[in-house]
Structure 1
Amino acid sequence: MSNARSTAWDIYSQSKPQRRKTNARGEVTWFNWTQYPDHGPGVDVLNLHPGEGALDLGCGSGGNTAHLATLGVRSVGIDLSAKQLAKARERWPDVDDMELHQADALTYLKDTSTIFDAVYSVFGASWFTDPGQLLPPVRARLKPGGVFAFSQRPAVEGCYGCQASYIPRGPDEDPAIVKRWDYDPGVWERTLKEHGFVDVSASVLAPPSGSRRTGTLFVRCVQGG
């Protein structure tokens, strides 16, 4: 595990408040793919059923992980930030079938023997890991026909490949730097197909009506083995 990266995400966690107690529907757990509340597709895109298993690559404070567990899914979340995981354990102490680990995505995927029915990442490790290194172990840990899906901010036009994200550390310190990987939807589709995934779709979801802010890149595919 990279101490520099885990420290960066601990710093990031300080800027993120706990998830709202309820969403617009009054639900205490829910799944959210985008950076906007109550927006975007639902959990159904993972095609999960009670008793099946799902892996959250970069679970943060655990909202999506907890929601799947309440649906009867064996829900595993990993994150580099101990502080984010502490938020998750504080918020969801009594949720059964939820398992949390402080771990790097590549290390966890290579060390675990578990085969999952779905693997997903919401602004998480799929954005901050070289896809050439991430996609083979993701595919190896998915059952045939299992879903891999992820969301992140779309690439800035002309700025593709490995980019730098800057996490503020305070007025007297330089920002922490982490790498991210940005591509347009067409490149994601080709890359996933080259790594053996099928039924690949990638698009930029529009932001909520009336918003002038950026949309959300959403990618879904299936393990073709």
Structure 2
Amino acid sequence: MLDNENGSEVSDTRSAAWDEYAQTKPQRRPTNARGESTWFNWTQYADHGPGAEVLDLEPGETALDLGCGAGGNAAHLAGLGMRAVGIDLSPKQLAKARDRWPDVNGMELHQGDVLAYLGDTRTVFDAIYSVFGAGWFSDPALLLPIIHANLKPGGVFAMSQRPPIEGCYGCQASYIPRGPDEDPAVVKRWDYEPDLWVLILKEYGYVDVSASVIAPPPGIRRTGTLLVRGVRGG
């Protein structure tokens, strides 16, 4: 694993907010229900939903995880023989990744802002993805064009997030708890219905676009997971 800092410490309020969030998240389980030490999970539920096949990757190809957190999905792709690059604003999340996956070959971690990273990198990726990450918390008018520019023709972009609350669309506020004497940290997220996500991706040049809600596991009366996928046309 290469731990490659982006050359400047990110000190804005978003970085601090995601550091606060990192403290509330436990490490991924040692193994999943099938006994696997790495796995890919798009949803907020354990052992549920599709896996890495959504990205249509082959060994030796390169994937970028936008908001990689503690690195579980990127580590799984690296274990399958891909070059997995992860970027996250939170140093504490990346510290968890370094602690959990110290010996994973083929995984790089970068600390910083995804838009800045995508604007600076010369790498053209075979797939770019976000699992409850920067795809949800970045303005699509800024993010989708620069992702498109950094995908090879035929490359996949996919992201998952919670479905929108009915009537609450566009830029919304998410609140991350802090100390008992502090107001919650506020970060922006972008919520749209599946049909509108399809139109938005098509507007920015993606083809074969799909967006649908994955139902929660049977017996769970909670929200499902919105999965959006598009391909960079030739």
Give the TM-score, by structure 1 length: 0.99
How far does the alpha carbon of each residue in 1:190-210 deviate from its partner, in whole angstroms, 9 at most, with x for none?
Answer: 000010000000011100001
CA distance in 2, matches of 1:193, 1:215: 24
Q: Does 1:100 align with 2:109?
A: yes
Residue 63 of structure 1 is matched in structure 2 by: 72
Q: Does 1:176 align with 2:185?
A: yes
Residue 123 of structure 1 is matched in structure 2 by: 132
CA distance in 2, matches of 1:20, 1:49: 26
User: Secondary structure of 2:138's match?
Assistant: coil
CA distance in 2, matches of 1:65, 1:6: 20
Query: Which of the residues 43, 46, 50 maps onto 1:37?
Result: 46
Residue 17 of structure 1 is matched in structure 2 by: 26
TM-aligned CA deviation for residue 2 of structure 1:
5.3
CA distance in 1, matches of 2:11, 2:19: 12
How far does the alpha carbon of each residue in 1:89-114 deviate from its partner, in whole angstroms, 9 at most, with x for none?
Answer: 00000000000000111000101010
The amino acid that maps onto 1:191 is I
The amino acid that maps onto 2:187 is V
Residue 83 of structure 2 is matched in structure 1 by: 74
The amino acid that maps onto 2:106 is D
Q: Root-mean-square deviation (CA), in Å?
A: 0.6
Residue 217 of structure 1 is matched in structure 2 by: 226
CA distance in 2, matches of 1:214, 1:44: 23
CA distance in 2, matches of 1:2, 1:204: 35
The amino acid that maps onto 1:28 is S
CA distance in 2, matches of 1:216, 1:70: 25
Query: Which of the residues 87, 98, 102 maps onto 2:96?
Result: 87
User: Secondary structure of 2:33's match?
Assistant: coil
User: Secondary structure of 1:72's match?
Assistant: coil
Q: Does 1:144 align with 2:153?
A: yes
Residue 167 of structure 2 is matched in structure 1 by: 158
Count residues with an aligned counterpart: 225
CA distance in 1, matches of 2:81, 2:102: 16
The amino acid that maps onto 2:54 is V
CA distance in 1, matches of 2:63, 2:38: 16
TM-aligned CA deviation for residue 3 of structure 1:
1.7
Give the TM-score, by structure 2 length: 0.95
The amino acid that maps onto 1:148 is F
CA distance in 2, matches of 1:209, 1:221: 28
CA distance in 1, matches of 2:107, 2:91: 16
How far does the alpha carbon of each residue in 1:30-75 deviate from its partner, in whole angstroms, 9 at most, with x for none?
Answer: 0000000000111111011111000000000000000000011000
CA distance in 2, matches of 1:68, 1:204: 24
* Misfit runs of 4+, over 2 Å: none
Unaligned runs of 5+ in 2: 1-9
Query: Which of the residues 201, 205, 208 maps onto 2:210?
Result: 201
The amino acid that maps onto 2:50 is P
